[in-house]
Amino acid sequence: MSTEPRIAVCPGSYDPITNGHIDIITRASKLFDEVIVAVVNASVRKSKALFTAERRIDFIEEATAHLDNVRAEPFDVLLVDFAHQKGAVAIVKGLRAISDFEYETEMTQLNRHLASDLESVFIMASPQYSFLSSSGVKELAIFGGDVSELVPKHVEGPLKEALAR
Ligand code: PNS
């Protein structure tokens, strides 16, 4: 057995991080020696993020400060290239519903086509987060819905502020 640390990347937009993301990251941190939360920072993407990558990373770092083997970093290259640069052995993603399964199947096959050495690992969302997404949270918050149980406390204020603008 290799003694190299087993590193996983947990990629996403995290715009912003939700309690559902924290659930997946926490569980991944128990399976791997190191978890790098990889935050998409790509201007080529169709929709503009609400928060800058720096802000999204700050939110993640505060939310995961108690997890010693977790850190957050931006990336703007192919996910598999980023994973290789970091020496990762796996890409970890959360799965909520059948719709995620369809999208993630496609992404997994594409990533596997590019890098067959990287394993994609899926963690099923805990039931209480099976409906939760960053876009859903933003939609609720825009119309004044209560998001206090869906995002960390330190995200709730900035989220309301950003959406009010
Ligand atoms: O659904 P999300 O949170 O926007 O997912 C982002 C990500 C990077 C996990 C998803 O787009 C993906 O799996 N992409 C693989 C293809 C790739 O490498 N894209 C480059 C992104 S900079």
pLDDT given for residue 82 in this prediction: 98
pLDDT digits over 10-55, tens only?
999 999 999 999 999 999 999 999 999 999 997 656 688 999 999 9
pLDDT at 1 over 80: no
Between the CA of 108 and the centroid of ligand 1 the distance, in Å, is: 10
E runs forming strands in the chain? 7-12, 34-40, 70-75, 90-95, 119-124
- The HSE-up count of residue 64 (CA atoms within 13 Å, CB side) is 31
Tokens of 109: 């096959």
Residue minimizing CA distance to atom 7 of ligand 1? 12
Between the CA of 100 and the centroid of ligand 1 the distance, in Å, is: 13
- CB of residue 11 inside a 6 A radius of ligand 1: yes
Q: 142 Cβ partners below 8 Å, 6+ apart?
A: 163
Maximal CA-CA distance, the chain: 53
Q: What pTM was estimated for this model as a whole? A: 0.94
In ligand 1, the atom with minimum distance to the C-alpha of 134 is 3
- CB of residue 76 inside a 6 A radius of ligand 1: yes
Q: Which of 91, 124, 133, 86 is nearest to 108 (CA)?
A: 91
pLDDT digits over 114-147, tens only?
999 999 999 999 999 999 999 999 999 999 999 9
State percent of the chain over pLDDT 90.
88
Average pLDDT over residues 88-115: 95
pLDDT given for residue 46 in this prediction: 66
